[in-house]
């Protein structure tokens, strides 16, 4: 009798998860946008000190809110997905963004949209190695400020509430538009902030969320999200730093096109996994 699932008992669980997901989404956007738009308008975002301070605080809002809500719900660290991923998927989480950025930047160099890398901008070869090796784990720690919220708290709830396939797209879209106060400052595309805020970041959010969900299927360790996110930001940011944009609009559109390809590919892979899991 214990093996029989009563449909009536699953509805409240899904409904409760849906309500928790909606509550978190509303609160994280409200609090983040209030702080983000206020701080970037009152302070000089172009100043490196203010810029770093705003980004640091902003990046930890999802985690702080998730920790508060999780504690109120009597959740544990395990409820926030703090468990070890498989070695294979952890490695792929590290590798995929590196390959992606290498292909995109390589394409842009080939098309004359970006210059060839100048590693001397970082310093000596030793400095380059230290930055790449030591900077990555540091980035992971900082990225947890977001990932505790997105993957630790929200992902399971949004998938349970909206359905696995639809839920990941919603998560990616929320994650993307969450960046709006920073993106509208032209953080990546100074001359095209609206493209960055309303096109690029939502595409990035959905693309990376699909990769993370696919690699973390069934276990959903928070560290899969942290590895993908940190690899994207650290190694991708390094490649952008050592090259120079020749045509910002083309640079943005090429990235957007590649993110659409990633979305289509991993959406298919993710859909097939969820379909097979139901069967």
> What is the DSSP track for 114-145?
BPPP-GGGT-SHHHHHHHHHHHHHHHHHHHHH
What integer is the mean pLDDT of 129-158? 94
Helix axes 164-178, 248-278, angle to 10 degrees: 150
Predicted confidence (pLDDT) per residue in 184-198, tens digit: 999 999 999 999 999
What is the token pair recorded at 91?
């490695």
- Asked whether 241 and 110 are in contact (CB, 8 A), the reply is no
What integer is the mean pLDDT of 56-68? 97
Amino acid 125: pLDDT = 86
Q: Sign (positive/negative) of CA torsion 98, 225, 139, 133?
A: negative
Tokens 């120079």 identify what position?
A: 244
Q: Nearest 5°: phi and psi at 245?
A: -75, 130
- Output the pTM of the full model: 0.91
Q: What percent of the chain has pLDDT over 90?
A: 77
Burial class (CB in 10 A: 0-12, 13-18, 19+), 73: exposed
Band the pLDDT of 126: cuts 50, 70, 90.
confident
Which among 155, 145, 157 is positioned nearest to 208, based on CA atoms? 155
What integer is the mean pLDDT of 79-101? 93
């Amino acid at each position: 009798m214990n093996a029989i699932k009563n449909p009536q008992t699953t509805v409240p669980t899904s409904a409760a998860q849906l309500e928790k997901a909606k509550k978190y989404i509303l609160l994280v956007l409200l609090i983040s946008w209030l702080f983000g738009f206020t701080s970037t308008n009152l302070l000089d975002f172009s100043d490196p000190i203010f810029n770093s301070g705003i980004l640091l605080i902003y990046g930890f809002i999802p985690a702080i809110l998730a920790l508060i809500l999780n504690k109120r719900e009597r959740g544990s660290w395990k409820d926030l997905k703090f468990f070890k991923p498989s070695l294979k998927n952890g490695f792929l989480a590290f590798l995929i963004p590196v390959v992606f950025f290498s292909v995109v930047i390589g394409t842009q160099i080939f098309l004359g949209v970006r210059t060839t890398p100048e590693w001397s901008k970082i310093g000596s070869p030793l400095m380059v190695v230290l930055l790449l090796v030591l900077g990555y784990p540091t980035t992971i720690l900082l990225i947890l400020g977001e990932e505790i919220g997105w993957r630790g708290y929200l992902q399971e709830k949004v998938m349970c509430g909206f359905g696995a396939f639809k839920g990941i797209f919603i998560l990616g879209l929320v994650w993307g538009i969450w960046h709006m106060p920073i993106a509208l400052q032209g953080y990546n595309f100074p001359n095209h902030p609206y493209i960055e805020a309303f096109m690029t970041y939502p595409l990035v959010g959905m693309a990376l969320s699909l990769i993370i969900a696919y690699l973390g299927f069934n276990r959903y360790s928070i560290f899969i999200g942290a590895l993908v996110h940190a690899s994207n930001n650290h190694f991708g940011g390094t490649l952008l730093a050592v090259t120079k944009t020749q045509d910002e609009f083309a640079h943005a559109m090429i990235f957007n096109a590649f993110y659409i390809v990633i979305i289509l590919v991993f959406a298919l892979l993710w859909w097939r996994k969820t379909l097979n899991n139901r069967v």
